[in-house]
Amino acid sequence: MVILGLGSNVGDRMANLRKALIAIRQIPGMIVEQVSPVYLSDALLPENAPPEWDMPHLNLALRCHTTLEPLDLLDQLKKIEWSIGRKPEVRHWGPRILDVDILAWNSDIIKSERLTVPHESLQERPFALWPLADVAPDWRFPLNGPYHDKTAAEIGEQWGSRFTGNAPLRARQIYQRIDTPQLMGVVNVTPDSFSDGGAFLEAEKALQQALYLVYSGAEIIDIGAESTAPSAKPLTADIEWQRLEPVLAAIQAAKDKFMILPKISIDTRHSEVAAKALKQGVDWINDVTGLEDEAMRELVCTSKADCVVMHHMSIPASRQHVLPRHQDPVRLVYEWGAKQIDVLEKAGISRERIIFDPGIGFGKVAEHSLQLIRHTDVFKQLGTRVLIGHSRKSFLSLFTPHTFAERDIETLSIALYLAKQPVDYLRVHNVEMCARGFRVQAAL
């Protein structure tokens, strides 16, 4: 048993950790058996460190099995650090894109010029010891002293709760994970959305909801000002922007308040709105029409933003315009996606920037939506990232008579299924419930 510790405090920290996990899984003779939750902590700094070094860290642990020898594994891990952007350096304390350390190797003690195991001061660092205890609670500390032969779980008890931030360096466990789909939280700046219309029309309320969603586990915030529910009235681009602009301005002004800086997605089908949002620095354009508008394609092409391409039959959704009942919905949606992605590539938008959404509930009867969810693995063959938006939708009437806003249990059940599928993002309303479910599922 080998326990690796991963850390990052520069750039897109969650992305750095995900890249490291992918690379570690590709090391010959290496099997990743379990991934810990992520922990947020203040930087551990030497005296007289420059102020710019004081950047919060994200840390986690991996329990692995390997056929490699310790120094051979160390060489592989250093190559991964450098491939993700960390350069060979002498200093040991400064900010870094990625750290990958060998925290423990069975109960062995290794002391050499290049490697010390257990990792130095492991028993004094909750940001390292807690993740280790999450994946190997029965690992026993092998060094002489007050912690000799104590389990990782026992040693971790000295700091109390993992969640309060009262441990040294304010270390605490957060909801975001690197081994499950990323959660996209929804902020509807609309009076007529099907489950929470009118709740976040004011910019300050929308900002507070965005902050709460990130605290609850979201890494992307999807902001929409026009409802696509069947009963919704279409908006002009001017009215849509009047709703969006103050919310974007409030989020931009409050960047320092976010525990993790989220990617901002704008849910719009109007190229005029998308153009203004891109000038405000948004990261994604989520177009429910699948970028059918040439002006939208040209706009995305000339930007750096990613785009969500959603299958649909009509916008707003209509019960009169649905896929044929006697045909395979997975095949029809896949074929539409392949054609539309080809159109986007010819317009200059690379496949790496495209996120495909099969459009659960848009132009599908309930049984169609269920089939698409069962076979989400098929859409990975498009060569893009995949997003599923199933939260609280009408197809869940197959399972419950409860109103849209009361369908979080059904939403969670499907999210737990999708967490084991090749899905990159889940768009959900109750982010915290899904994140808590992922946490337990991963532990089991």
Question: Is residue 89 pLDDT above 70, yes or no?
Answer: no
What CATH homologous superfamily does 182-443 map to?
Dihydropteroate synthase-like (3.20.20.20)
**Topology of the domain comprising 2-173:** Alpha-Beta Plaits (3.30.70)
d(CA 311, CA 322): 11
d(CA 214, CA 220): 8
Catalytic (active site) residue 86 = yes
The catalytic position among 13, 63, 96, 125 is 96
Spans of all domains in the chain = 2-173, 182-443
Question: Is residue 276 pLDDT above 80, yes or no?
Answer: yes
Per DSSP bridges, beta strands 110-111 and 116-117 are antiparallel
Place of tokens 């190797």: 105
d(CA 164, CA 93): 26
- Both tokens of 147, joined, read 């912690």
**Using one digit for the tens of pLDDT, what is the confidence trace for 342-397?**
999 999 999 999 999 999 988 899 999 999 999 999 999 999 999 999 999 999 99
Confidence (pTM): 0.93
The catalytic position among 13, 63, 101, 134 is 101
Catalytic (active site) residue 96 = yes
Asked if domains 2-173 and 182-443 share a fold, the reply is no
- The H-or-E segment that residue 386 falls in is strand 385-388
**Could you tell me which residues come within 8 angstroms of residue 307 by beta carbon, excluding any fewer than 6 positions away?**
284, 285, 286, 287, 291, 300, 344, 349, 353, 354, 355
Q: What distance lies between CA 286 and its chain's CA centroid?
A: 16
Catalytic (active site) residue 91 = no
The catalytic position among 18, 63, 72, 86 is 86
Q: Is the dihedral of CA 227, 233, 238, 243 positive or negative?
A: negative
Catalytic (active site) residue 99 = yes
DSSP codes of every residue in 39-87: EEE-----TT--GGG---EEEEEEEEEESS-HHHHHHHHHHHHHHHTPP
Nearest to 84 by CA among 16, 4, 11: 16
The catalytic position among 13, 25, 72, 99 is 99
Q: What is the predicted pLDDT for the residue at 96?
A: 86
Question: Is residue 420 pLDDT above 70, yes or no?
Answer: yes
